[in-house]
Amino acid sequence: MKGDERSAARLISLIEREDPEGYRALSDLWPPAHSAHVIGVTGTAGAGKSTLINALANRLLKEDKKVGIVAIDPSCSVGEGSLLGDRLRMKEAERSDAVFIRSMAQRKYPGGVCRAATGAVCVLESMGKDFVMIESIGAGQSDKELFYLADTIVTVFTPEFGDEIQLMKAGLLEIGDIIVVNKSDKQGADDVRRAIEAYVPEAKEKGWKAPVLLLQADRGAGIDELARSVAAHGEFTQHDKTVKRGEKHAHFALTLLKEEVWKRFSEQSSRTSLGGALEEVRHGRLDPYSAVGQIGAEFEHIMRSGSVPGRVRSDE
Ligand SMILES: Nc1nc2c(ncn2[C@@H]2O[C@H](COP(=O)(O)OP(=O)(O)OP(=O)(O)O)[C@@H](O)[C@H]2O)c(=O)[nH]1
Ligand SMILES: [Mg+2]
């Protein structure tokens, strides 16, 4: 809470490794003493997310804000691979000691992006960061998870990308509170901006219509307007932020619970007919509904009594 970076880095590592010590420390910090404006940045590979975060971070640093950055690496599990490219592109921002950058591996199970990132956000807030930015590759599930992590979501498109409509269908557009068409120096940028604008949902009950902004992140052109939109959305969400956060954390707890239940269930699977029933399904002897019904009933029995009911063999 004094802002020591090494402690923060260590705590995030513990959380990332799902170490009980890390979770204990996290519960001591909860709820964070200081609340940050959490900005999620998503978009296709190479759209300029890191460059945008770098530019926005520098801009915020100039206003004496403290910034934390979490980059979610989609390509590798913990300890593998590197974010060297991202690190290099974010170097400018990293030079300042007011900024803290952390990369995390994306997990392969549900709740992947969120699992450690929620903890990391709490650590960064406790450190006193005013802004926390999360970079996440726009890939279905991780976008939805970003929704449960961030106060403001910035979606990044580029004119280079051929089939924008596909992305819109995939929901990238819907989750954006601010939509950026980056690489405005490329041909057709304004056409793409106008095309996207036509698709942006009206404000409706949300009370907020996502602005569609042109940006050239590598030159910082348009970054002022982006910063203004981020601030405006921050104000917009401010009034019921605590409620929203609480809602999001409750939802996250449910995601974790699903994971936990599945984990415990798998651990018990040798005591149930799980393997056998799946084999029966595989060979076409049992239908999937009956298989799940059978396994579910067994599991319920284990939960109640700690013992397995008499198994029913499908050939009987
Ligand atoms: N022409 C042009 N290039 C840009 C702009 N912004 C970023 N780039 C370049 O686009 C490339 C990708 O930028 P990144 O910021 O790494 O993109 P990213 O979305 O973080 O990429 P991944 O994390 O790999 O998905 C880099 O070579 C940047 O220099 C821009 O406004 N115009
Ligand atoms: Mg990147």
Ligand 2 centroid vs 58 CA: distance in angstroms?
Answer: 16
What is the structure's pLDDT at 131? Answer: 96
The DSSP code for 269 is G
Neighbours of ion ligand 2 (CB under 5 A): 49-50, 86
| Mutation choice for ligand 1 from 218, 219, 223, CB with most ligand atoms inside 8 A | 218
Domains contained in the chain, CATH given: 5-240 (3.40.50.300)
Question: Could you tell me the mean pLDDT of each successive run of 10 residues in the chain, 316 residues long?
Answer: 91 92 95 93 87 93 92 55 48 68 68 76 94 80 75 90 60 85 93 86 76 96 97 90 84 86 82 85 96 88 69 48
Please report, as a single letter, which amino acid is at residue 294: Q
Ligand 2 centroid vs 93 CA: distance in angstroms?
Answer: 14
Query: Is any atom of ligand 1 closer than 6 Å to the C-beta of 45?
Result: yes
What is the structure's pLDDT at 126? Answer: 95
What is the structure's pLDDT at 300? Answer: 85
Ligand 2 centroid vs 268 CA: distance in angstroms?
Answer: 40
CA dihedral 169, 216, 105, 260 (to 10 degrees): -40
Query: Is any atom of ligand 1 closer than 6 Å to the C-beta of 106?
Result: no
What is the structure's pLDDT at 124? Answer: 95
Backbone angles phi, psi at 17, to 5 degrees: -85, 5
Tell me which residue has its CA closest to atom 32 in ligand 1.
183
What is the structure's pLDDT at 123? Answer: 95
How many CA atoms does the CB half-sphere of 210 hold within 13 Å? 24
Cβ-defined contacts of 198-204 (< 8 Å, 24+): 199/168, 199/173, 200/173, 201/174
For residue 291, how far is the Cα from the chain centroid? 34
